Amino acid sequence: MSGNVKFNAVAPALAKKKSEKAQSILPHDFLLSLHGRRVIVFLSYKDHELEGRLTAVDADKGDIFLEEVVHYVWNRGVGQHGKEGTREELRRCKSAMVNSRYIEMIAPA
């Protein structure tokens, strides 16, 4: 895990310089309500999804840390639109850190 990222479940973010502007994509309270639960993270990259247990939230930007992660991708037939098709497992890993800018939506699993 990167040394410059502070993960915190309850404390407020540290003071920043005026030139630095953190842009939280997802509401921090919402992410904290999912702490310890299995979640599905819909990514904005090519219909990919991650499913795992939410263990930490970056207090500044909303980046998340998942454990027991399964990485899925949606395979669609010719001409299909939306979330139709088959969801196929790509890989499993012990943990993953997800940058909030690539998160489309988070839902409880």
- Higher pLDDT: 2 or 43? It is 43
Residue 28: its H or E element? helix 28-33
Q: Which domain holds residue 64?
A: 28-76+86-108
Give CA 72 to chain center in angstroms.
13
Tens digit of each residue's pLDDT (9 = 90 or more) over 49-58? 999 999 998 8
C-beta separation of 36 from 53 below 8 A: yes
Residue 4 lies in a domain: no
Residue 100 lies in a domain: yes
Residue 89: which residues within 8 A CB-CB, separation 6 or more? 70, 71, 72
What CATH number did the domain enclosing 95 receive?
A: 2.30.30.100
- How many domains, in total, are found in the chain? 1
Q: What's the maximum distance between 2 C-alpha atoms anywhere in the chain?
A: 50
Tens digit of each residue's pLDDT (9 = 90 or more) over 13-33? 444 455 555 455 567 777 788
Residue 43 lies in a domain: yes
Predicted TM-score of the model (pTM): 0.68
pLDDT of residue 51: 96
In whole numbers, what is the pLDDT of the chain averaged over residues?
Answer: 77
